[in-house]
Copies of this chain bind each other. A is one copy, B any other.
């Protein structure tokens, strides 16, 4: 297999090495958890034990110290080679870690003394981050879960979906809307502990793939949130500046496991070709034109995914670095999001093609449940639904930026 994408930093190299080690463990039990629909909690414990859970926490706070989106995403692609389901959950944790670490670093650079307690809790295995942005029947920009102002904070009521890795998360960031009078709303994110009174995990995830991801619905029954646990609001219907800031990174990180799945599938198919003759003649399968053609298409497609991913990640990191310790302005984030979304589309749609072609190369054996290819085929299709934009919305966003139209409609 052509080299996967290499990390760019020392911390990245350490984190990727850990990710590859864990991925091998993930792979060993992935089918079993997939079949049972169980969440592999043992992996979370292993990540705590190895320190990988703190991959994005600064070294000063005891973490691995990865600070670029590029290397975070590369590690996530490696995790994805082992098991897509746990990896998509880890995306949530690491993205939140990255956001917090970036804020902590910015605070230090600005001479402030930022609070690193949550990051330290991650290092100590006390905190795992979860994300509750999605809702069935809506999109990230239009949450219906509502935070009603009460004495000292808010009461949150609603139902969030795709609570990926919810059994492991200790703390959720939850997208809500806040009434702004006149029937208008604002949107913000609330930080809510998993054991907050009124937070109910419906444990009802049941889907085509990503079956071990525990992406349950979470019901919020008048959960109390303090004022300080709420992010600054933006107009309802938009991602706004904070949403775009996190979103350009999220788009790529959430695509990363699907590169890993495609890489694992292709490796599986290539190994199969190398080992198998073409029955019953003397010609080895790997000398057979149609198989060579399919292998070549996969190689080209993997090159396409890797290239688009790598370049978009570089652009994202370069933009953040240029404005550090501040944030890129909104218009620049729109441009970056255009690149992130284009890369995400390439990765998700191409990953599906690669796995599909692996099934063809397998000659039927990949269709049986005992082949990991059949799991990859189900898991890989989840990519296109990942936030902040699904495949159809992403194209509209890209076109609007390209055509100088307001990108959020």
Chain A residues close to B by CB (< 8 Å): 1-3, 5, 134, 136-139, 142, 144, 206-209, 237, 270, 273-274, 276, 279-281, 286-297, 299-300, 302-304, 306-312, 315, 335, 338-339, 342-343, 345-346, 352, 356, 359-361, 363-365, 367-370, 374, 377-378, 381-382, 384-385, 390-396, 398-400, 402-405
Given A136-B365, A289-B293, list of 6 further CB < 8 A pairs? A286-B403, A287-B405, A299-B398, A303-B312, A307-B308, A361-B392
- Determine the distance from Cα of A246 to Cα of B294 in the docked complex, in whole angstroms: 28
Q: Looking across the interface, which residue of chain B has its beta carbon closest to that of A306?
A: B311
Q: Looking across the interface, which residue of chain B has its beta carbon closest to that of A363?
A: B390
Contacting pair A299 B206 (CB below 8 A)? no
- Determine the distance from Cα of A390 to Cα of B285 in the docked complex, in whole angstroms: 15
A261 to chain B, nearest CB (A): 15
Contacting pair A402 B279 (CB below 8 A)? no
- Determine the distance from Cα of A346 to Cα of B296 in the docked complex, in whole angstroms: 12
With known contacts A142-B280, A310-B311, A335-B2, A300–B346 Cβ distance under 8 A: yes
Contact of A360 among B134, B297, B369, B391 (CB under 8 A): B391
- Determine the distance from Cα of A29 to Cα of B384 in the docked complex, in whole angstroms: 29
A141 to chain B, nearest CB (A): 9
Stoichiometry, copies per complex: 4
Q: Looking across the interface, which residue of chain B has its beta carbon closest to that of A365?
A: B136
With known contacts A293-B290, A296-B399, A303–B343 Cβ distance under 8 A: yes
Contacting pair B308 A396 (CB below 8 A)? no
Contacting pair B208 A374 (CB below 8 A)? yes
Q: Looking across the interface, which residue of chain B has its beta carbon closest to that of A294?
A: B392
Contact of A352 among B142, B281, B356 (CB under 8 A): B356
- Determine the distance from Cα of A234 to Cα of B297 in the docked complex, in whole angstroms: 30
Contacting pair B309 A207 (CB below 8 A)? no
A-B contact pairs, 22 of them (CB 8 A): A2-B335, A136-B364, A138-B280, A207-B374, A208-B367, A273-B403, A286-B403, A288-B289, A289-B292, A290-B396, A292-B395, A293-B293, A294-B392, A299-B402, A300-B346, A302-B342, A303-B312, A304-B307, A307-B308, A360-B390, A361-B392, A377-B378
Contacting pair A308 B303 (CB below 8 A)? yes
- Determine the distance from Cα of A237 to Cα of B279 in the docked complex, in whole angstroms: 10
Q: Looking across the interface, which residue of chain B has its beta carbon closest to that of A143?
A: B280
Q: Looking across the interface, which residue of chain B has its beta carbon closest to that of A385?
A: B364
